[in-house]
A and B are shown apart, each in its own frame.
Chain A
Amino acid sequence: MLDLWLNYRGLWLEGLVTTASLTGLAIVFGFFLALPIGVLRAKSTGLGGWLALGYVNVFRGMPLLVQLFLVYYGLGQFNSELRAIGLWWIFRDAWYCGLLALTLNTAAYQAEIIRGSLQTIPASVYETNAALNLTRWTAFRRVLLPIAFAKALPAIGNEFILLLKATSLVAIITVFDLMGQARYIFSETLDLRVYYIAAVHYLLLVLAIEWALRRIERRFAWMA
């Protein structure tokens, strides 16, 4: 099995980097997209709340694979229009399409996690904010957000791991992530063991995420 890895180690490492970077970037971009959506879901009963709910329903309501196809093949049809507004570079490239679809998708899940943890913040915290005359921004930025984030951490960590494994779908839209490389190497060698090697790579990435999460959770020990 080791020979199978060594012979193609350049491709495996490329695949590893592609998977890790897609996951990492989608998590980060997704988080910052999820933040306003989650806050609107938790706080807004007006138009903003409805729009946020619509977003969540659309992106949680469809399989990720369908979203990948819609972004890569569906929007790809509008190439002249996209060229005109200078966005063609995104939709021409499978990697960018994959990142976009993953980001939009994980943002919907993370938004719901953020909404949930904001809504479990007890009324006493809001009363304390009021009694201390905190401004809305300070209360949000310095109190509600850190507490919500600490509460959300286990669920967000779970979402990260799910997302990492979901990135394997981008192989279908021609991205050479771990799964894409595995498929390519299989076509060269017709050796099914390549999929074991791919699996081990995913496992190692998951272990790395878990390790990082444990380190972060330790910094939030006050929450317990």
Chain B
Amino acid sequence: MDGVTDTGPAVVFERVNRHFGAYHALRDIDLTVARGEKIVVCGPSGSGKSTLIRCINHLVAPQSGRLAVCGIAARDGRDAVRRIRDRVGMCFQHFNLYPHLSVLDNCTLSPVHTYRVPRAKARATALEYLARVGMEDQAGKYPAQLSGGQQQRAAIARSLCMKPQIMLFDEPTSALDPESVGEVLGVMADLSQAGMTMIVVTHEMGFAREVADRIVFMDAGRIVEIAPPDDFFDNPQHERSRRFLERVAPQRATAQAQERT
């Protein structure tokens, strides 16, 4: 919206650290995400995946190191966090739709009240994005009337209504039944086709292999390995990654083990 930051990397972490009390949740994170790049973050529970992506829109503030999002660091002035959040959409594991608002009102709340978009225009935009996620005929419903997959698609549309340059997803399909998982992953794949910069925490290894440009594997607050999906899945460099893959995709691991023998 201020134009100066539309080139250059989308996200740059340099030696970023974060503690929660005595617990060291992020250790010396270094990561650069290019414009239009799709990153899948994976790793065992508690490894810091959520903390990592929440740093990007400052739901968690990094404590040391440098973190720039679209060229903006949080220290760049009083409204820097606000300007970063203008550019970053986020989808949560539990969708976090506002229960008291219809799908359409969920989508227009921030555009109308934060960005002062005229209501009619905000509605038109919202319906456009709802159509893109296949939810245009559910616009008048309340979240409680929708399935999990529909709620997550509505939440994606709500984020898109803010015209973000980067989309963050924190386990967007973990709370869904198997049928809904497919419909949400489909929407995300479409979004990636359209060129969106995406950073996705997920255990959906099929999606990771299809869509990701790079996989970031985390363990105990550290980035252990960054690799293109084919390398990561077929030839993980680290013992930890290998053990992790055996657990999340045992059939694949055994298949490889058989190939090797």
Write the residues of chain A forming the contact surface with B, with a CB cutoff of 8 angstroms. 124-125, 127-128, 130-135, 138, 142-143, 146-147, 150, 220-224
Contact = CB atoms under 8 A, between A and B. Distances in A.
10 contacts: A124-B94, A125-B96, A127-B92, A130-B57, A132-B85, A134-B113, A134-B114, A135-B114, A146-B100, A223-B99
Given A131-B59, A131-B90, A147 B100 contact: yes
A130 B92 CA distance: 13
Interface string B159-184: 00010000000000000000000000
B59 A130 contact: yes
B109 A222 contact: no
Contacts of A133: 82, 85-86, 110, 114, 162
Q: Which 6 A-B pairs have the closest CB atoms?
A: A138-B113, A132-B110, A128-B96, A131-B90, A133-B85, A222-B142
Contacts of B89: 131
Nearest to A145: B100
B98 interface: yes
A61 to B, nearest CB: 34
A128 B92 contact: yes
Contacts of B143: 222
Contacts of A124: 92, 94, 96
Contact of B109 (A127, A132, A150): A132
Interface string B61-103: 0000000000000000000001001101110101010111000
B113 A222 contact: no
A133 B79 CA distance: 11
Nearest to A143: B98
A134 B110 contact: yes
A123 B49 CA distance: 19
Interface in B42-61: 57-59
B100 A223 contact: yes
Contacts of A224: 144
B85 A130 contact: yes
A222 B144 contact: yes
Contacts of B92: 124, 127-128
B1 to A, nearest CB: 11
A153 B89 CA distance: 33
Contacts of B100: 143, 146-147, 150, 220, 222-223
Contacts of A146: 100
A142 B59 contact: no
A38 B58 CA distance: 29
Nearest to B84: A133
Interface in B86-138: 86, 88-90, 92, 94, 96, 98-100, 109-110, 113-114
Contacts of A132: 85, 109-110, 114, 158, 162
A127 B90 CA distance: 10
A8 B65 CA distance: 82
Contacts of B85: 130-133
Nearest to A220: B100
A135 B113 contact: yes
A143 B58 CA distance: 20
